[in-house]
Structure 1
């Protein structure tokens, strides 16, 4: 029992410092590393000090993959913002129709996922909420819809959190992507009806029931299709652009009129995203190109690390950043300001990710994960799989990051699943989806949305409403898992 208590202490300390003491994620990570190290080398776990540099080295290498994608992803967002492309895309979408339902759907399930796929970390709220207010939506409606629109987070910043989860859980990325997308389809339908109800009311849901259902299903199906047949990294981009394109077509077909913005202008503003999709698609689908790009590979066998800089999504993001600078003729001041903003947003995330991965690696190296998984398996048995979404949700809610949550919990989830004879993929995908979607309930995200909508005094009200949304999301996930287990649906890789 003493061993179990101390094995739990690193995770409990993280939750306590974040939730009770309200400490920063970096401070929390530093303290958690010290606590975990002290426990690992204690007589309870007998971990040699000589092997402790290994978790730090492995964590540094894993974090470098995150930084490579994250930096250029956020830089692309700021470059496009400086060029006015984001504002023009939003204007094209918001002025394409006077129908409030289509406005909500195209912004919440189209534009917001598009921005979140590249930039991540809730930046889409800053874009979506003001547009909704400008269109005449109440600030509380706008804040709620903007937060729910952060639904693509498993594939945010080119699926960074899912990639880290796949690496730590030792599950193929494609398998985790497909499984996560399968779980998200009913949830996206739920979100489609939810944002419509919040934005236009109960009667509007009844009136446009089939359109709302179709849009939610379209986002889920297109994300699933891209994970299966194209690329996990591209799924968020592909799904959001599919929703935007199809909805634009439906609006034009129903209204039988052209849009106020010319297709040429819209194409130019979307061109960086379209180029990114083209580059990633061809690099994954054309085998000779894939082989060429993978030729230069950095391999460190001691740490089981392999990295192909020219094949990684970060390289293509860098190319698209250069393309954006050239096409939109950004000057030196705009470029430097974008880089400065990017660094300011990046470094806290990168440091936090590194610290949490260190905690996870030390816990794994010292057998703490194995101790906790054995106890969980004995305590809950087959029912453990039903609480996997709750564990993921706690991580997503408290950290506001799918990457951080997966780093903390995905190894525990998959190790316990193996102990009780359940597919590790089922546990990993439940962790990945629940932690991603519950980041929208994170207090800092809610505070950001309320601040943008200038209703900070109503933050508690918005938090309560969004908590109910989160509970509904978790219930759907638990029902999905129960169906999979009861009917013995294959969930292998």
Structure 2
């Protein structure tokens, strides 16, 4: 009975999302209320009101770490978009080659990871899918390929979800980021293969297998190296820039007839329909480069890093919470927003409209994420997580390695958010790892990887995709297709994770 009661918050979330078709916001809040009722009424999990308030407020503090970054990430996107910058980048990528398969490869492994890494929130899909339709793909293909392009979710919004996972699981951020990158390597190759298959079938894979292999391997190696030796927060941005650059170079070499067009595009480039002026592609990319440079400097120069980590720090020892406001990627996104406003001479009206829409998108995220994290904290404080982990340990033992990816996958599928999934399940995964003797950082990395890559099949993402591409009547078909694709990714994660465990090949 105790186990069933302990599982009720998760059951409640599932039922609200899928049976009653509620939003993540409502599901999170209602499930939080259910959790409160359990710990206040059920004797085995009863805790004091003071402990309840403490755990709930700690949930808010943990969520604020992600919210601080995400707000400026969303604002940055809208500022760039309202200046015509996104259209300029899209125009540039679509003009460098007339080969649709190469265009898909550049979008999936280049532009989409860049947009997702800086802005998060699935914004990359909202840009890539319309571009694909403009390039001549059917709405169903555009929606499917656009969703598959969300392969950089672990590093979305400068890795906010991964940061949350590291904090909740007590795993060093660098270890979690690097572990996620290692486990994701075959998944990156798989997703790019799927994207090309969706675009042109088996023949497209046969014809472009060299480019697929080259760029997916470059992206994989880059994201591993940047996580391990530079910065987890910057890994997605840097990897996408490296991969995009090499992809463009490959196109130049293979398609010399388009070399003149590419050079002219780089030097002159793309037209902004929004303000009626020509936007130089270097100018458009400069905010991304500035953001990368600023965070790079803040992480790699010891004196600057020490200063940023020790000034303007929010510290609440009683909650084991500390946030260096200047060291956080959120601060550098704020500076980048100011730079973007200045360099593009953005009007007050556009700034105001960008702020309004950013707040409208940001507030539900903060509330729902806080609810999910608070549920996790309350369950841990009331020993509900311990009860579930203990039962899982007894039932599965070391075989839990087969179950862990499905738990992460369910979290990503349910919430449509790596942050939300990590908030719900990281503590459970880590506690179960302790019970079964499995490596904590391996299980935490499995959770982070599987939950991130499952978000592309989330009902909320599918609904958005069907609506954006005008295929509402085919929403179920799209959900089925993406669910099968994600299941393939989960199986790859299981195979790789079991291999690491069997051969004792894990750092």
Q: TM-score range by the shorter chain?
A: over 0.9
Q: Which moved more, 1:174-183 or 1:30-39?
A: 30-39
The 5-angstrom pairing of residues 80-95 of structure 1 reads 80-95=80-95
The 5-angstrom pairing of residues 413-424 of structure 1 reads 413-424=429-440
Q: Provide the rounded CA distance (Å) in 1 between the counterparts of 2:491 and 2:64.
A: 36
Contact 1:162 1:432 in 2 (8 A): yes
Q: Provide the rounded CA distance (Å) in 1 between the counterparts of 2:482 and 2:28.
A: 27
TM-score normalised by structure 2 residue count: 0.95
1:285 aligned partner: 300
Q: Provide the rounded CA distance (Å) in 1 between the counterparts of 2:17 and 2:292.
A: 37
2:11 aligned partner: 12
Residue 201 of structure 1: CA displacement?
2.0
Q: Provide the rounded CA distance (Å) in 2 between the counterparts of 1:32 and 1:194.
A: 36
* CA deviation vs aligned residue, 1:462-484 (integer Å, no higher than 9, x gap): 22111110111111011011111
* CA deviation vs aligned residue, 1:104-126 (integer Å, no higher than 9, x gap): 10011111111111221221122
Contact 1:192 1:215 in 2 (8 A): no
1:262 aligned partner: 266
Contact 1:154 1:436 in 2 (8 A): yes
Q: Provide the rounded CA distance (Å) in 2 between the counterparts of 1:382 and 1:138.
A: 45
Q: Provide the rounded CA distance (Å) in 1 between the counterparts of 2:213 and 2:231.
A: 25
1:469 aligned partner: 485
Task: Give the direction of change, closer, same or farther, for the CA distance of 1:306–1:460 in structure 2 (3 Å limit).
Answer: same
Q: Provide the rounded CA distance (Å) in 1 between the counterparts of 2:36 and 2:473.
A: 42
Q: Provide the rounded CA distance (Å) in 2 between the counterparts of 1:89 and 1:263.
A: 13
1:327 aligns with 2:343: yes
1:478 aligned partner: 494
Secondary structure at the counterpart of residue 232 of structure 2: coil
Q: Provide the rounded CA distance (Å) in 2 between the counterparts of 1:112 and 1:263.
A: 23
380, 397, 417: which one aligns with 2:396:
380
Q: Provide the rounded CA distance (Å) in 1 between the counterparts of 2:484 and 2:59.
A: 36
273, 279, 296: which one aligns with 2:288:
273
1:119 aligned partner: 119
1:161 aligns with 2:176: no
1:21 aligns with 2:20: yes
Residue 287 of structure 1: CA displacement?
0.3
Q: Provide the rounded CA distance (Å) in 1 between the counterparts of 2:495 and 2:292.
A: 34
Q: Provide the rounded CA distance (Å) in 2 between the counterparts of 1:411 and 1:361.
A: 9
Residue 254 of structure 1: CA displacement?
2.2
1:403 aligned partner: 419
Secondary structure at the counterpart of residue 201 of structure 1: helix
Residue 233 of structure 1: CA displacement?
0.5
TM-score normalised by structure 1 residue count: 0.97
The 5-angstrom pairing of residues 22-171 of structure 1 reads 22-41=21-40, 42-171=42-171
* CA deviation vs aligned residue, 1:270-298 (integer Å, no higher than 9, x gap): 11110000000010000011011112122
1:459 aligned partner: 475
2:241 aligned partner: 241
Secondary structure at the counterpart of residue 121 of structure 1: coil
Contact 2:179 2:442 in 1 (8 A): yes
* CA deviation vs aligned residue, 1:329-353 (integer Å, no higher than 9, x gap): 1000000000001001000000001
1:490 aligned partner: 506
369, 391, 394: which one aligns with 1:353:
369
Contact 2:442 2:506 in 1 (8 A): no
406, 414, 419: which one aligns with 1:390:
406
319, 325, 329: which one aligns with 1:303:
319
Contact 2:197 2:205 in 1 (8 A): yes
Q: Provide the rounded CA distance (Å) in 1 between the counterparts of 2:387 and 2:31.
A: 18
Q: Provide the rounded CA distance (Å) in 1 between the counterparts of 2:143 and 2:56.
A: 40
Secondary structure at the counterpart of residue 294 of structure 1: helix
* CA deviation vs aligned residue, 1:114-172 (integer Å, no higher than 9, x gap): 11112212211221111111111222211110000011000000101000000000000
1:317 aligns with 2:333: yes
Secondary structure at the counterpart of residue 234 of structure 1: helix
Secondary structure at the counterpart of residue 97 of structure 2: coil
Residue 415 of structure 1: CA displacement?
0.5
Residue 229 of structure 1: CA displacement?
1.1
RMSD: 1.2
Residue 225 of structure 1: CA displacement?
1.1
Q: Provide the rounded CA distance (Å) in 2 between the counterparts of 1:211 and 1:26.
A: 41
